Structure 1
Amino acid sequence: MSDYARIADAIRFIASQVARQPTLDEIAAHVHLSPFHFQRLFSRWAGVTPKRYLQVLTLERAKALLQESRPLLEVADTLGLSSGSRLYDHFVQLEAVTPGEYKQRGAGLVIDHGVHDTPFGQAFVALTPRGVCNFSFLDEQAPKAPLAALAQSWPEAELREAPSRTQGVIHTMFDDSKTPDRPISLHVSGTNFQISVWRALLQIPPAKVVSYAQVASAVGNPKAARAVGLAVGANPVALMIPCHRVIQQNGKLGGYHWGETRKQAIHAWEAARYE
């Protein structure tokens, strides 16, 4: 079993028992490790102890973060939603597919792709000459699904397996020892509304959260919270467009395309690094 698989199992157990705050011994027993080995594994992965993670999970903390986030998108709106945003100490720049490119369906385009290990399980990364066009977590039951979806989105493109080319994206995102020398560029296809939502998400700092309604207001359509939810769910680039930072108005995390357990894990991982 991989480290992340054990972590995910522990997170599911913690979430199911969060009201009574399970002990370290109980969590360790659930994942069939000694308390010593589990604490060492969890701290190495998250950068915090399981006890600190339990504090991160509380509904009260989520509600407090929502209160703090009220001015975040207002400031972003003043600055302009197309501006670059800090993420993992580097800039992310989003470039939308043009109508002309969309019509061509990827004709003449080479897209490199690869599968890599991350702190949140294996991820599929796809890269055009202009930027990352897909970042998806793999489902053990359907490991080829991201590649099939990529082929459907860009049917005329040449898809080339080239993990040596996509590995740099992983290093930039997760290697804390290196300072990126240039922004991460994203090259994504979406409707005008989806693009506006994704640009808004880029304004949310790590370890912060906003509600769907707040995003709707930020894109100039306060009544479109449901449509925002659909746009968030259609995000083709996990983590870099941080849809995991959008939660329900009541403070609950809500759904996530790649699973609520993974969303909880990402929140804990970010909180350990940025709070």
Structure 2
Amino acid sequence: MNSSIETTNSYNREAYKCIAKAIAKRSVGIAFMQKNHLHQPDLQTVAQHVQLSEYHFQRLFTKWAGISPKRFWQYLTVEYAKSKITETKSLLSLTMDVGLSSPGRLHDLFVKLEAMSPGEFKSGGAGLKIWYGIHETPFGDCLIATTARGICNLHFLNAKDEEIAENNLRTEWKNAEIIHDQQVTRETITRIFQPVADNSPPLVLDVKGTNFQIQVWRSLLRVPWGGITTYKGLAASMGRPTAARAVGNAIGSNPVAYLIPCHRVIRESGEMGGYRWGLERKTVLLGWEASRNQLS
């Protein structure tokens, strides 16, 4: 079997692709929380699926996740999801009661969302300069774009998405000056995915959206690191208990992956629901956050 895939750092794209493929095999049908996980494929079967020996697959997986595949699978069960949904519901209620804007941390980094003005929204970015770059992350490559005020887009990419993502950025910001500059965006990517404990100011998001979308995205920032909520639960926390479908649509329009944590919202049944950057990636994100929670 091919054992040549090694991680030189946490951003190795081949490592992510291998682990996402393994997750897809493990979570048959991409149903996220498997009700009968005892009958899912064993380690040997999954390793064979990604064309690695058991030893090399376990080594690769543990280096990426910080824990063994067996422990990682435990965070992808209905039982675990239900416990986190209940816990997160209590935390969301608390933050709404005391008026906090963002109780969750991203490894000691706070995220602050600022909405663009109606004029900037309607003008398609006229007068704005937007710098963008393509970078590796623990979850595959991404395109990140920033204005002088903050991050306006972060999109995870699949193998052939780079040109499409660049074209979409130019279409979304049709009147802005779009500048490809890896140096400008590298520092931001490093701060997001290799954060250090310091007194850095919040990561600022400079996004455009309708008033309702902005409200939903701000509510997502209240879902804590490692937490899981539902579309209905998020709508209720916003005081809009009958708006779960509209909330779901706003979540699907999220322009900043990972930092606005739409991956932490699943269906009441324990199934994933949608994710614009792929269901395997959503599964990987949730399992990775859960494992990091246990390690911290």
TM-score (norm 2): 0.88
1:211 to 221, 224, 230: 230
1:49 aligns with: 68
2:56 counterpart residue number: 37
Over the aligned positions, Cα root-mean-square deviation in angstroms equals 1.7
Among 181, 186, 199, the residue aligned to 1:162 = 181
Structure 2 match to 1:63: 82
Q: Is the 8 A contact 1:66 1:211 kept in 2?
A: yes
- Give the structure 2 partner of residue 115 of structure 1: 134
Pairwise CA distance, 1:21: 3.7
**Could you list the per-position Cα deviations for residues 135-194 of structure 1 after superposition, in whole angstroms to 9, with x for gaps in the alignment?**
001132432222222212211111000111111122112215564622110000011111
Q: Distance in 2 between matches of 1:180 and 1:35?
A: 42
Partner of 1:13: 25
Offset, 1:66: 1.1
Distance 2:261 2:97 in 1: 20
Say if 1:202 and 1:241, in contact at 8 Å, map to a contact too. yes
How has the CA–CA distance of structure 1 residues 98 and 82 changed in structure 2, closer, same or farther, with 3 Å as cutoff? farther
Output the CA distance in 2 between the equivalents of 1:179 and 1:41: 30
Further displaced range: 10-19 or 197-206: 10-19
After TM superposition, the structure 1 stretch with the greater mean CA deviation from structure 2, 225-234 or 56-65, is: 56-65
* Alpha-carbon shift at residue 263 of structure 1 (Å): 0.4
Deviates more, 1:92-101 or 1:22-31: 22-31
Q: Which amino acid aligns with 2:280?
A: T
> Which amino acid is 1:155 matched to?
K
Aligned equivalent of 1:236, options 252, 255, 278:
255
Residue by residue, what CA displacement relative to the aligned partner does 1:239-262 show, whole Å, maximum 9, x if unpaired? 000000001112222221111100
> Secondary structure in 1 aligned to 2:142?
strand
Alignment of 1:121-160 (within 5 A): 121-160=140-179
User: Matched residues in 2 for 1:37 and 1:168: separation?
Assistant: 32
Give the whole-Å Cα distance in 2 for the aligned partners of 1:193 and 1:176.
Answer: 31
Determine the structure 1 residue equivalent to 2:205. 186
CA–CA distance in structure 2, aligned partners of residues 169 and 144 of structure 1 = 21
Q: Distance in 1 between matches of 2:166 and 2:199?
A: 27
CA distance in 2, matches of 1:132, 1:50: 33
- Give the equivalent residue in structure 2 for 1:266: 285
1:105 paired residue number = 124
Please state whether the residue corresponding to 2:162 is helix, strand or coil: coil
SS of structure 1 residue aligned to 2:246: helix
In the alignment, what sits opposite 2:31? none
Listed as ranges, the gaps of 5+ residues in structure 2 are 6-13, 29-33
- CA offset at residue 22 of structure 1? 2.6
For 1:96, the aligned partner's letter is: A
Unpaired runs of 5+ residues, structure 1, are none
Letter in 2 for 1:261: E
Could you tell me how far 1:48 is from its partner in structure 2? 1.2
Distance 2:118 2:45 in 1: 55
Q: CA deviation at 1:78?
A: 2.0
Cα distance change, pair 44–180 in 1 and its aligned pair in 2 (3 A):
farther
* Residue 114 (structure 2) aligns with: 95
Corresponding position of 1:4? 16
One-letter amino acid of the structure 2 residue matched with residue 46 of structure 1 = A
Given that 1:84 and 1:92 are in contact with CA atoms closer than 8 Å, whether structure 2 keeps it comes out as: no
Taking the aligned partners of 1:37 and 1:114, their CA distance within structure 2 comes to 32
Cα distance, 1:86–1:178 mapped onto 2, change above 3 Å: closer
Q: Secondary structure at the match of 1:115?
A: strand
Please tell me the residue identity of whatever aligns with 1:243: C
Encode CA deviations 1:103-129: one digit per residue, 9 max, x unaligned.
332122110000000111100000000
